[in-house]
Amino acid sequence: MKVLSEIFFDDKSTTNIKFGSLPLNRSLDELLDSGILLVKKPRGPTSHQLTAWIREILGIKKIGHGGTLDPMATGLLTILCGRATRLTDIILKGDKRYISVIRFGKDIELTDVEEILKNLSGEIYNVPPKESAVKVQVRTRIIKSLKLIDYDQSARIAAIEISCVAGTYIRTLTRDIGLLLNTSCEMLELHRDQTSIFDETMACDMHQLKDAIFLWKEHNDERGLIKLLTPIESILGEIPSITVKDGAVAAMTHGAPLAKPGIISSSSEFKSGSIIVIKSLKGEAVALAETLVDFDKLMSMKNGHVAIAKSVLMPTGIYPQNWSKQN
């Protein structure tokens, strides 16, 4: 993870412990209103079907997923609850990693497979396969690495690890591997084990989720379900941020622009027009905002507006409205 440097403008401000909370101390209701659930999708259902089932058993109205998996595919599916759906684009743009099991139409030497995988790393043309719901268009995608995990030459079956940017069609990549080897190439299995900063070691299977929900609903035991939900702040760590005073938190949840007097500290890397995270002193994500100035300008400002909220992530009423001075 990229570490962003932080510059302090006010090292004396404190936060009132009566309002808000540390992200890791959130209640179940708060996490269901704004949290991330990582599940291991089984083979069979579509991503939409699985998301709809989770919506029904959790009893929440607003839910979505970040990154569709085909029905035959398995692996990590990111479920966004409540206000977390406002981060869908961030999840979708994250890098992905897959394990694909493919079968060649004829005998292929190990050295030839290794050479083709090496040549396919980097920028490639990627066209949606016929099975995709996406409108056909040629586009380029970056394959960060292709690794041969195992190869059974007698069965003509290979297992490969694919690290790629978002939006890469693995079926198309499989077809291209076959074309370059002058044979057909069939994808037998596809498993996603990483999305953005999340990997499947952090995810639960559907049995674990069902058990946790049973304990919550039938025995009023929330602990298991709380452990499965992740605060939204976990996905925002690589985005430049500005930490603000309690009064500025309240102001921004009501749609007010961020003024310089309300700022405590800031990442040192952003330009005017950048998307940044506004955070409280407790580390809570308040909003995604667009900067009106670059960092160099911010350094010399005493007053004036610095950013405007584009997507408010914190509900109103968490912090009191004593925000005329943003302190």
Dihedral, CA of residue 180, residue 185, residue 191 and residue 192, to nearest 10 = 30
- Let me know: does 312 contact 253? Beta carbons within 8 Å: yes
For residue 122, the surrounding DSSP H or E stretch is strand 122-126
Q: How far apart are CA 270 and CA 295, in angstroms?
A: 6
Q: Is 199 a catalytic residue?
A: no
In this structure, the number of other CB atoms found within 10 A of the CB of residue 197 comes to 15
* All residues at 6 or more sequence positions from 74 whose CB lies less than 8 Å from its CB, including other chains: 40, 41, 42, 43, 189, 190, 191, 192
For the chain, state the CA radius of gyration.
23
Taking a C-beta distance cutoff of 8 angstroms, is the pair 4, 53 a contact? no
Beta-strand ranges (E) seen in 15-109 are: 34-41, 63-66, 74-82, 96-104
**Catalytic-labelled residue, pool 10, 33, 70, 199:** 70
Bridge pairing between strands 139-152 and 122-126: antiparallel
Distance between CA atoms of 65 and 138, rounded to whole angstroms?
A: 25
Q: Which residue's structure tokens are 């709380």?
A: 226
- The catalytic residue positions are 70
